[in-house]
Chain A
């Protein structure tokens, strides 16, 4: 079959989407000539002979495609999260005026600009270690954690022109600074001589600049005030430090002086002034809480002498602004001074309103691990009055105590060589000693049940004094040994530090040590004269020995230029002895430090030394197995009685009888 399709019909083949106006349609008819099919015509198919009738009609096209995909480039709103950082205190940098001393220069690496070409062979960046500030464990919110994570690495921060560092810190010091920066409660317990002071001061600089603290109180023993002033001048000259001193009126002004970023005060001043302010506040009807805002019954009872009417914890009182001077941070240097949590010092210190609490001590445990409870209470990590057991203390130590020993971090530090100088008593000393011991023991035995630990203690002291020198003949084997050693030391231009328990012994020795340019530094020396003495010892080439008491000279002094230490007599606690020795054996010492411990043979000194050494081996502090310098080694009453083969008469045989504190010197 063939046919023609009109042009109009072909419009239906237009491409999709082409929709034009309605066309004019015309129709026409034409005859079709169809060939007759070769089919036999029957009645059934006669219709095939009829020509087909073809007609055309108009049909409208589709007005739109059935599906047209469309898309507009729209995106959902991008959600954001952010934080702004607090503005820090702008302090004007002070250019160093005094060039560092040779000792300091030789001891510490000066800050060097980072070498620009420190790439690895692969073309990567230099692998110089960076100390990042890590968020503390108690920082739970994202904002808090980001605050720490987004701080620059300490090496970059301290290298900047904002913070002039006289010397580059050691790596462990960077880590200590970062830790102090992040912790709200911290006990930095590095072994003596590792630079706790510098770490604390540098952390303060960063905290002030980061706007984390604006007002800081630093409490230290009185003899260390000049030391802290000097250290601030060395490490952070741009930070103004105000010492709380003078009469009551002046001190009161100082406590409340606005704009003082760092206040420096000794323990006695803090206790005296805060007690006065607390009493005044209670009279005015204030509810007293501890310095962290926790109400404690003990505090209230103490402050008002038993009258609980105005400050009883159970009474609802309208809240009023705290009348005591407040601080963002309180630092306790030699924090072991507050180890007795019921002492007036500890209670008063805890009452200081503060946001952060930091303790510094090289000997967090002098006698018993429980002593740390007082420090933890100050730090606010245990509730008031809580008594954590040893396991809990160990757990708290891991989180809130940072302690490094020289063995761990100063592998390249010159060694400390300890030698026990076993000395025979002179004839006169031996006679005097034996007589005193025989007479003393007889008296003790005769006392029967009246015998007290004090009686035994007095005998021990008397025998130790005779071991130093015979008071009648002035003979002293120790002196002879000391003179022999000093001849060598002076001849080689060396310097030595001698420690004794007694100022009387020190004065006696001073007369005999004059040929060696002897200087004396103990509690009897006025505070104003102490710094010049230390300066002379350091700078005068003819001054070869300085005589110090454990109480005054054992803490906080930097005498790393001395290569020799003599322990003329022994303190009751090796932790205190270690503090004394570390005046010389600390960062910056150029050569080995030789420590001579004078022990008279067959005397009470030998027996005491044996007991203490045995205890050192047995006792392990909660601070870790590797810490061999922090053992609790004060002698118990039983051990003191045992020195004379006697037994303690008191049922409390474990009571410690050592002197209350090394700062209280024997006459």
Chain B
């Protein structure tokens, strides 16, 4: 990712759901140039059978956003100005933190209502927080046209795989 001044700090939040292991989340904070500043990740979070039954279809959203996302955000020492994720369930994180949370859409996505162009991508913000539009717009202005907002999320996933490997080996 190559972003221009003014200096901004972005959080890239990713989560993987591994069969038999559970959900593992990672939050990478970078500067406006994509250089890493801080990384936090969780150990696997695995819902039990009761939780699966009683949370039903809301389970993934709850685990990803309120359990993993919120915990990671609270652990950060370097606070970002915007959190980006490619996981639609993560939008629910916005309800529990006071920071805009956006869903980054693939490059092939076209502009639609509720989205804004940022770099090479469309960002969708939480519909219940219309005031976020102004904040996201301001931050998105600093992105050059070819900024790749998906790539840092790939780094997060790679790092999560590495920590799981290390945990399995330990």
The one of B30, B50, B162 in contact with A146, judged by C-beta atoms closer than 8 angstroms, is: B162
* A272 vs B68: C-alpha distance when bound (angstroms): 59
Taking CB atoms and an 8 Å cut-off, the chain A residues in 189-234 that contact chain B are: 209-210
CB distance from B29 to the nearest CB of A (A): 9
* A116 vs B107: C-alpha distance when bound (angstroms): 8
* A210 vs B150: C-alpha distance when bound (angstroms): 22
Query: Could you tell me if A149 and B41 are in contact, using CB atoms closer than 8 angstroms?
Result: no
Contact flag A81-B159 (CB < 8 Å), given A75-B67, A125-B106: no
Contact flag A156-B151 (CB < 8 Å), given A78-B45, A81-B40: yes
The one of B1, B43, B75, B146 in contact with A116, judged by C-beta atoms closer than 8 angstroms, is: B146
**Is B72 an interface residue, CB under 8 A from the partner?**
yes
Query: Which stretch (A158-166, A312-320, A369-377, A492-500) binds chain B?
Result: A158-166
**Is A150 an interface residue, CB under 8 A from the partner?**
yes
Query: Could you tell me if A80 and B40 are in contact, using CB atoms closer than 8 angstroms?
Result: yes
Query: Could you tell me if A149 and B162 are in contact, using CB atoms closer than 8 angstroms?
Result: yes
Query: Could you tell me if B36 and A150 are in contact, using CB atoms closer than 8 angstroms?
Result: yes
* A151 vs B28: C-alpha distance when bound (angstroms): 11
Contact flag A156-B75 (CB < 8 Å), given A85-B37, A142-B162, A162-B33: no
Query: Could you tell me if A78 and B35 are in contact, using CB atoms closer than 8 angstroms?
Result: no
Query: Could you tell me if B75 and A80 are in contact, using CB atoms closer than 8 angstroms?
Result: yes
Query: Could you tell me if A125 and B43 are in contact, using CB atoms closer than 8 angstroms?
Result: no
Contact flag A123-B43 (CB < 8 Å), given A75-B67, A152-B151, A152-B155: no
Q: A residues within 8 A CB of B51?
A: 75
Taking CB atoms and an 8 Å cut-off, the chain A residues in 117-163 that contact chain B are: 119, 123-126, 130, 142, 145-146, 149-153, 156-157, 159-162
**Is A83 an interface residue, CB under 8 A from the partner?**
yes
Interface hub of A73, A149, A159 (most chain B Cβ within 10 A): A149
Q: A residues within 8 A CB of B108?
A: 119, 123
Query: Could you tell me if A161 and B4 are in contact, using CB atoms closer than 8 angstroms?
Result: yes
**Is B125 an interface residue, CB under 8 A from the partner?**
no
Query: Could you tell me if B146 and A71 are in contact, using CB atoms closer than 8 angstroms?
Result: no
CB distance from B10 to the nearest CB of A (A): 12
Q: B residues within 8 A CB of A123?
A: 106, 108
Q: What is the 8 Å Cβ interface bit string for chain B, positions 1-36, against chain A (1 contact, 0 not)?
A: 111110000000000000000000000101001111
The one of A79, A142, A156 in contact with B34, judged by C-beta atoms closer than 8 angstroms, is: A156
CB distance from B18 to the nearest CB of A (A): 16
Count: A-B pairs, CB below 8 Å: 116
CB distance from A15 to the nearest CB of B (A): 24
**Is A82 an interface residue, CB under 8 A from the partner?**
yes
Q: A residues within 8 A CB of B133?
A: none
Query: Could you tell me if A156 and B43 are in contact, using CB atoms closer than 8 angstroms?
Result: no
CB distance from B109 to the nearest CB of A (A): 9
**Is A28 an interface residue, CB under 8 A from the partner?**
no
**Is A448 an interface residue, CB under 8 A from the partner?**
no
**Is B166 an interface residue, CB under 8 A from the partner?**
yes
The one of A80, A81, A157 in contact with B35, judged by C-beta atoms closer than 8 angstroms, is: A157
* A83 vs B38: C-alpha distance when bound (angstroms): 6
Taking CB atoms and an 8 Å cut-off, the chain A residues in 23-76 that contact chain B are: 71, 73, 75
**Is A84 an interface residue, CB under 8 A from the partner?**
yes
* A88 vs B35: C-alpha distance when bound (angstroms): 10
The one of A81, A116, A142, A149 in contact with B155, judged by C-beta atoms closer than 8 angstroms, is: A149
Q: A residues within 8 A CB of B5?
A: 161
Taking CB atoms and an 8 Å cut-off, the chain B residues in 111-170 that contact chain A are: 120, 144-146, 148, 150-152, 155, 158-159, 162-163, 166
Query: Could you tell me if A152 and B1 are in contact, using CB atoms closer than 8 angstroms?
Result: yes
The one of B3, B45, B150 in contact with A125, judged by C-beta atoms closer than 8 angstroms, is: B150
Query: Could you tell me if B120 and A85 are in contact, using CB atoms closer than 8 angstroms?
Result: no
The one of A81, A145, A151 in contact with B43, judged by C-beta atoms closer than 8 angstroms, is: A81
* A452 vs B131: C-alpha distance when bound (angstroms): 92
**Is A113 an interface residue, CB under 8 A from the partner?**
yes
CB distance from A157 to the nearest CB of B (A): 7
**Is B42 an interface residue, CB under 8 A from the partner?**
yes
**Is A449 an interface residue, CB under 8 A from the partner?**
no
CB distance from B93 to the nearest CB of A (A): 14
Q: B residues within 8 A CB of A113?
A: 144-146
Query: Could you tell me if B40 and A78 are in contact, using CB atoms closer than 8 angstroms?
Result: no
Interface hub of A80, A113, A156 (most chain B Cβ within 10 A): A80
Query: Could you tell me if B2 and A146 are in contact, using CB atoms closer than 8 angstroms?
Result: no
* A75 vs B166: C-alpha distance when bound (angstroms): 25
**Is A114 an interface residue, CB under 8 A from the partner?**
yes
- Give the total of A residues in contact with B, Cβ under 8 Å: 38
Closest-by-CB residue of B relative to A163 is: B33
Query: Could you tell me if B50 and A71 are in contact, using CB atoms closer than 8 angstroms?
Result: yes
The one of B33, B42, B45, B155 in contact with A160, judged by C-beta atoms closer than 8 angstroms, is: B33
Query: Could you tell me if B45 and A156 are in contact, using CB atoms closer than 8 angstroms?
Result: no
* A151 vs B166: C-alpha distance when bound (angstroms): 19
Q: B residues within 8 A CB of A160?
A: 1-3, 33-34
Query: Could you tell me if A142 and B68 are in contact, using CB atoms closer than 8 angstroms?
Result: no
**Is B99 an interface residue, CB under 8 A from the partner?**
no
CB distance from A365 to the nearest CB of B (A): 36
Q: B residues within 8 A CB of A125?
A: 106-107, 150
The one of B4, B68, B77, B152 in contact with A152, judged by C-beta atoms closer than 8 angstroms, is: B152
Q: B residues within 8 A CB of A78?
A: 42-43, 45, 67-68, 71
Q: What is the 8 Å Cβ interface bit string for chain A, positions 611-649, against chain B (1 contact, 0 not)?
A: 000000000000000000000000000000000000000
Query: Could you tell me if A84 and B77 are in contact, using CB atoms closer than 8 angstroms?
Result: yes
Q: What is the 8 Å Cβ interface bit string for chain B, positions 84-111, against chain A (1 contact, 0 not)?
A: 0000000000000000000000111000
The one of A84, A124, A156 in contact with B78, judged by C-beta atoms closer than 8 angstroms, is: A84
The one of A88, A142, A156 in contact with B1, judged by C-beta atoms closer than 8 angstroms, is: A156
Closest-by-CB residue of B relative to A119 is: B108
Q: B residues within 8 A CB of A79?
A: 42-43
CB distance from B147 to the nearest CB of A (A): 9
* A209 vs B34: C-alpha distance when bound (angstroms): 12
CB distance from B169 to the nearest CB of A (A): 10
Contact flag A153-B166 (CB < 8 Å), given A78-B45, A80-B72: no
* A210 vs B38: C-alpha distance when bound (angstroms): 13
Closest-by-CB residue of A relative to B146 is: A114
Q: B residues within 8 A CB of A142?
A: 162-163, 166
Taking CB atoms and an 8 Å cut-off, the chain B residues in 51-68 that contact chain A are: 51, 54, 67-68
* A150 vs B27: C-alpha distance when bound (angstroms): 11
The one of B42, B45, B54, B107 in contact with A119, judged by C-beta atoms closer than 8 angstroms, is: B107
Interface hub of A84, A115, A142, A150 (most chain B Cβ within 10 A): A150
Contact flag A210-B37 (CB < 8 Å), given A71-B54, A79-B43, A142-B163: no
CB distance from B51 to the nearest CB of A (A): 8
* A298 vs B63: C-alpha distance when bound (angstroms): 62
Closest 7 CB pairs of A and B: A82-B40, A160-B2, A123-B108, A152-B34, A142-B166, A78-B71, A114-B146
B interface with A by C-beta (< 8 Å):
1-5, 28, 30, 33-43, 45, 50-51, 54, 67-68, 71-72, 75, 77-78, 106-108, 120, 144-146, 148, 150-152, 155, 158-159, 162-163, 166
30 residue pairs from A and B, CB less than 8 Å apart = A71-B54, A73-B54, A75-B45, A78-B42, A78-B45, A80-B42, A80-B75, A83-B38, A84-B77, A85-B35, A85-B37, A85-B39, A113-B146, A119-B108, A123-B106, A124-B106, A125-B150, A126-B107, A142-B163, A149-B155, A149-B162, A150-B28, A151-B35, A152-B30, A152-B152, A156-B148, A160-B3, A160-B34, A161-B4, A162-B35
